[in-house]
Amino acid sequence: MDGLNSRKIFSLVFIIGIAVVFTLQFGPGSNGFGGGGATTSPGAVATVNGKEIPMRDFATAWARQMNFLRSQGSPIPESLARQFGMHTQVLDRLVNTELLAQAAERHGITASDEELRKLIHQNPDFQKDGVFDMERYKQVLRDFYRKTPPDFESELRRQLSAQKMLEVVRTNAVVSDDEVRAKFEKEGNQAKVVFARFLPTMYADKVPAPTPAQLADWKKAHEKEIKDYFEANKFVYQQPERIHARQILVKVAPEATAEQKAQAKAKAEALRKQIEGGKDFAAVAKESSEDPGSKARGGDLGWVERGSWEPALADAAFALKAGEVTQPVETKFGVHLVKVEEKQAAQDKQLADVQDEIATTLYKQERAKQQARDEAQKALAAVQGGKTLKELFPPEKEQPALLRFETETRPEAVETDSFTAEGEAVPHLGPAPELVKAVFAASNPQVLGQVFPVGEGFVVAQVTERQKPDAAGFDKRKDALRTQAMQAKQIEVTESFLKALKKTGTVVTNTEVIDQVVGAG
């Protein structure tokens, strides 16, 4: 990723995502050109209540966004920026600006001539030796913005009016003393824990298959579970004939002449002779196939069903034995050579055919889950007896497998950072409402006295640090907390206001035009 680690990417995405919804721009903004109510013109990325946002405005804002990321030392490729939805955020800012400008017009809110003059004079683009220069102003508008001064000033006035509308909305944000106190109580109530989890998959290999008597009893007691499993996995037991195939494709254009088709067939025949002479099919496919989807994999197509191919190609391939190669076969895509690696006969198994197999699987899953629970109970008893989870379950490597995003093969002690009771999740573990409740019910560091079911497994945990809010801490932080709470409330009322504007208005986006700027997703 051009040297950018994934953590930094996600941090930047998060920062951009929570940024203030309106960003004042000196560049050309929403100009209010008229447009259709439910469509957009070919040159517009969106219409907001019939007023268009031109493609050039979006392109300018997108370029500014990319330049901002580069200035932060994060050269994210545009394709990756789109994958993270940054194009949507850029468009949202333009749409929000237009909505606010229209609301300002309805409420009679407008920027003064003096405010407009001050903003223009402060723009370094229009200055010479640090001072506003009229000739430079006209030149930059003509050569860079491609606008006349009246048009540019009209658009900039609308953006300033949108800014003033936003400020009016934000003045409605009020934070009470109780809200500040509640924020302190929530943020000041923190804990750290060490946990180990016990998953059935850690014990599955240790569970023996049931004896015939055990299997018969288990089937009788779990008829519904067996039937439900069969219904959920029918695609495994009932499937058409399949082949694992490779192909070499010589492309032929739809408008190809008879001579061109003959040349393609001759090329395919020559490639087949190389294979008959002992050359590996996959190697020939890598060198000569013209199918971009499979060429790099040596022509590997995976498992293929008859109905997914044209009849002529399917008939030729499915008639072969494993290891054989077709003669050249022509389809609308070109001329194909297909090698059959494996064959799998059609399956139409009914519940009676597989119930023993399903019962054995479910029996072993149940026993593995019970063993995971039993091991968790043993670990809890050992920790209550004075051991620590870190002593009992040290990670095999410097970090536990869970933090390395690798499969956990045994319980390992995982230590969290501080977290609050605001949500129902434990860092690195995920949603665990009962565990979170128990953590914050504890007044001091301690072993939590039960095994907690979490997901498919079971968790044993120790509270290692416990911090509660106190009066002295509140006095020190209340001003900063009030500022934070006010900022959060301002964002909240702004989002509510914009949501209401969008609900009562009509916003239509043009993805084709957006794709022209940022590339298709």
**For residue 34, what are the contacts with CB-CB under 8 A and spacing of at least 6?**
50, 51, 52
Outline where DSSP puts E strands in 372-512.
414-415, 419-420, 425-426, 430-431, 446-447, 452-454, 457-467, 507-509
Length of the chain: 521
Q: Say if residue 18's pLDDT is above 60.
A: no
**For residue 512, what are the contacts with CB-CB under 8 A and spacing of at least 6?**
none
Burial class (CB in 10 A: 0-12, 13-18, 19+), 104: buried
Closest among 418, 515, 480 to 62, alpha carbons compared: 515
pLDDT digits (tens, 9 = 90+) for 140-162: 998 888 889 998 898 899 889 99
Q: Quick one: average pLDDT of 303-309?
A: 91
C-alpha 203/C-alpha 371 separation (Å) is 7
Q: Any idea which residue has 């009209």 for tokens?
A: 154
Q: Say if residue 181's pLDDT is above 60.
A: yes
H/E segment holding residue 271: helix 258-276
Tokens of 244: 């694992």
pLDDT digits (tens, 9 = 90+) for 275-297: 999 999 999 999 999 998 899 99
The answer to whether 84 and 9 have CB atoms below 8 angstroms apart is yes
Letter for the amino acid at 232? A
Q: Say if residue 78's pLDDT is above 60.
A: yes
Tokens of 321: 């034995």
H/E segment holding residue 305: strand 300-305
pLDDT score, position 327: 96
Tokens of 340: 């059959």
Tokens of 31: 């100009």
Tokens of 404: 């390395």
pLDDT score, position 40: 56
pLDDT score, position 14: 31
Compute the Cα dihedral for 120, 125, 126, 132 and give only its sign: positive
Outline where DSSP puts E strands in 36-80.
44-48, 51-54
Q: Say if residue 502's pLDDT is above 80.
A: yes
**For residue 467, what are the contacts with CB-CB under 8 A and spacing of at least 6?**
188, 189, 190, 191, 418
Q: Work out the angle at residue 360's Cα, subtended by the Cα atoms of residues 359 and 365, and round it to the nearest 5 degrees.
A: 95
Selected residue with higher pLDDT from 175 and 436: 436
Closest among 131, 204, 487 to 371, alpha carbons compared: 204
How far, CA to CA in Å, does 14 sit from each of 11, 17, 86, 273, 466?
5, 5, 10, 57, 29
Q: Any idea which residue has 């468009």 for tokens?
A: 91
Ramachandran angles phi, psi of 285, nearest 5°: -60, -45
Q: Looking at the DSSP assignment, which residues form a beta bridge with residue 335?
A: 250, 330
User: 190-206: string of b/e by CB count within 10 Å (b at 16+)?
Assistant: bbbbbbbbbbbebbeee
Compute the radius of gyration of the chain from its Cα atoms. 33
Q: Say if residue 450's pLDDT is above 90.
A: yes
The answer to whether 44 and 510 have CB atoms below 8 angstroms apart is yes
pLDDT digits (tens, 9 = 90+) for 347-388: 888 999 899 999 999 999 999 999 999 999 999 999 999 999
C-alpha dihedral (160, 163, 167, 168), degrees to nearest 10: 70
pLDDT score, position 16: 33
pTM score, two decimals? Answer: 0.50
pLDDT score, position 462: 96
